Amino acid sequence: MKIESHMIQPFSPNVLPNELLVELQSFLDSHDLVKLYEAYLWKNDVHYAGFPDIFRLELQLGNHERVGGLTACDVKDVARWGGLTKVNQIQCADLVLKPNTIYTQDGKPHPWLKDSITKPLVRLKEGIYKGIGPTYISKVLRFACPQEFGAIDTRCVRVFGDGDNKNKRHSWLNLHVRNSGRWFIPGYQENWPSGYGRWIDILRYFAHNSPQNCPHPPQFVNQGLRSQNIWTCADVEMALFTYASSVLKEK
């Protein structure tokens, strides 16, 4: 079902430290977000193919958030997309997020999301008991409301945060990762979930300070998932994921 589009730019970022703003602008001046977005690659999701699985999940979760709410099936679908190997171990309520938790009745993100970025994250976690952590919970939000949310992936924390000194390139995030045979973002760290709020404000900064030139595949615009050329938080996150992936390949 087509989503009635209210897509505009995401909310403006909350106050960020001046030294971080300088770093973000320097990155923006020296990197082409359009090329990074177009180079995004995850399984079937490539730009020339129209990011088909991302498209499907955005329609699915966006519609469910507005009508009926997000379900256990939605969470598991996102986990499969992300490559989680033990999806059957996820334990959650049948209804993990009530309808219109993120969107108003007329389909716009709630105004309070401007300042209370992590509130939906906390509510979503209340419905998920076991089997996924910060990365996958953030992915669910990213598909439910790409205008205002992006995923926080271990690749991005390794490059933009703490925990992987060999690959760290920037000090943007006050989050850290650990490696116990695989990289993961501990949900028990002091700066979770507040560090996710910092990440969203970074995505907002790039969305508001980039030219309106995001090259969305046509079906995203046609189905109301995007406004033509307008960067969303999810779009920026995809570009930064591409950058982080390129850094990790340099080893």
Is 147 within the bounds of a domain? yes
- Tally of domains within the chain: 1
Indicate whether 4 belongs to any domain: no
19 band by pLDDT with thresholds 50, 70 and 90? very high
Tokens (6 digits) for 200: 């969203």
Q: List the domain range (segments joined by +) for residue 79.
A: 18-248
- The answer to whether residue 144 is domain-embedded is yes
Please give the average per-residue pLDDT across 192-202, as a whole number. Answer: 97
Q: Is there a domain that residue 112 lies in?
A: yes
Residue 1 scores a pLDDT above 80: no
Task: Report the length, in residues, of the chain.
Answer: 251
Angle at 142 between CA 41 and CA 128, to 5 degrees: 115
- Residue 13 inside a domain? The answer is no
What's the pTM value of the predicted model, to 2 decimals?
0.96
In a domain, 10, yes or no: no
3-state DSSP assignment of residue 129: strand
Contact between residue 221 and residue 20 where contact means Cβ atoms under 8 Å apart: no
Q: Three-class SS string for 43-111?
A: CCEEHHHCCHHHHHHHHHHHHHHHCCCEEHHHHHHHHHHHCCCCHHHCEECCEEECCCCCECCCCCECH
Q: What is the per-residue pLDDT across 84-100, written as a single tens digit (0 to 9) for each? A: 989 999 999 999 999 99
* pLDDT reported for residue 6: 61
The 10s digit of each residue's pLDDT in 64-81 is 999 999 999 999 999 999
The answer to whether residue 127 sits within a structural domain is yes
Angle between helical axes of 119-126 and 134-144 (0-180°, round to 10)? 110
Assigned token pair, 99: 């309808």
In a domain, 171, yes or no: yes
Per residue in 6-18, pLDDT (tens digit) is 667 999 999 999 9
